Chains A and B, each alone.
Chain A
């Protein structure tokens, strides 16, 4: 029953293309976020009075 229902969910081409662009936007922002994460020091800073 569900399989027969699927073709009705096929999205029109412009919507699919918009979806691809939005997916690209998210991936680009993720790359930018990864730059931030990679810039953080690996070792945590533990404050010690001196």
Chain B
């Protein structure tokens, strides 16, 4: 063999070795890589800053402190349960861990902007399938309902979990997602196809696992406008910097008309006046929520789930008319009952909360987080020891 030909073969062999070696390193990273001292996915390790934790990392985080004999409490849902508004040391899930004691392991896997059946719910499902004692807590509100596992910033986790064979076979969910994909406009369908392809490749080559590990420990290579000049810094060096709540008199002052429109929208599209000045759920809404629950949540997970319907801050609720207040209370109560009718524990979170418990319309302050932790601890104990 001539030197030139040998040189070409060596180059080709090097390319294959380099690629497969990276994939092997990625596979190793998917088993161990996770943020150190993890409390939550704060802004600097979340999709806001182009950090998309791979599904395997969520499982690694969930199992990091768990031991046989302990019950794992996995927290999902959106920014409210993520603890936006609570500095790291005031985080409500830390308080929940204290209240529940050593026989429970609380892991906060909630993402900003996520739906209850995204991300953390898939981890809970996967671990229950492996006979690990898991309880799942998530939040939503009446119109948002269950949401859909794929779609949005956290939807890639569904495709990754599916292509890594972590999910329980559930025909109703698969059919619902197929119909949803068929209904998407071409551009969004294309985005979903690309997300699926990325997830498929992740199952084989673990590119997301390896390069997120490098980005967390060594250097981050993708610019984002939140971190701007600091985008390159290893995420391990950027602490959770969630600020403390503003003084009470400075809260709730921005965008009041828009916020009131959102508060009203939580109930006005779902309820219609009934007989004798009573409200009733609009029939389509009732059917939609029931169908969403039936097609989104695997039966295995339902008896181990606590759903919180999070109320808006009293500052806004107090500005509703008496009829609107009654409608709002009715919708929350009726929707909670629908969740319960499907075998899922559901509580309205916000009753008895004061203005000081919120930092804005939806998010809880450290004080509110303490109250939420007490409510959830009580319900978790009941759920685990019926």
Contact = CB atoms under 8 A, between A and B. Distances in A.
A41 B23 CA distance: 21
Interface stretch (B13-21, B30-38, B174-182): B13-21
A28 B207 contact: no
Contacts of A8: none
Given A17-B3, A32-B22, A33-B211, A24 B11 contact: yes
Interface in A3-50: 13, 16-17, 20-33, 35-42, 44-50
B113 A47 contact: yes
Given A17-B7, A21-B11, A36-B210, A29 B202 contact: no
A50 B10 contact: no
A47 B22 CA distance: 32
B205 A32 contact: yes
Nearest to A48: B113
A10 B211 CA distance: 36
Interface stretch (B45-53, B240-248, B319-327, B347-355): B45-53
Given A47-B79, A49-B360, A13 B3 contact: yes
Contact of A28 (B18, B78, B222): B18
Contacts of A44: 50, 224-225
Nearest to A25: B18
A34 B264 CA distance: 46
A36 B29 CA distance: 14
Q: How large is the interface on B (under 10, 10 to 19, 20 to 34, 35 or more residues)?
A: 35 or more
A44 B153 CA distance: 9
Contacts of A45: 47-48, 113, 153
A25 B222 CA distance: 22
B7 A16 contact: yes
A31 B19 contact: yes
Contacts of B198: 38-39
Interface of A is mostly: helix
B317 interface: no
A20 B11 contact: yes
Contacts of B156: 41
11 contacts: A17-B6, A20-B10, A24-B12, A24-B18, A27-B15, A28-B15, A31-B19, A33-B211, A39-B208, A40-B52, A44-B225
Given A47-B113, A50-B144, A24 B207 contact: no
Contact of A36 (B3, B18, B211, B362): B211
Contacts of B366: none
Contacts of A39: 198, 201-202, 207-208
Given A21-B11, A22-B14, A24-B11, A32 B23 contact: yes
B205 A21 contact: no
A35 B212 CA distance: 12
B14 A32 contact: no
A35 B205 contact: yes
A25 B22 CA distance: 9
Contacts of A25: 14-15, 17-18, 21
Nearest to A46: B48
A49 B361 CA distance: 9
A44 to B, nearest CB: 7
A32 B18 contact: yes
A28 B17 contact: yes
B304 interface: no
Interface in B354-377: 360-363
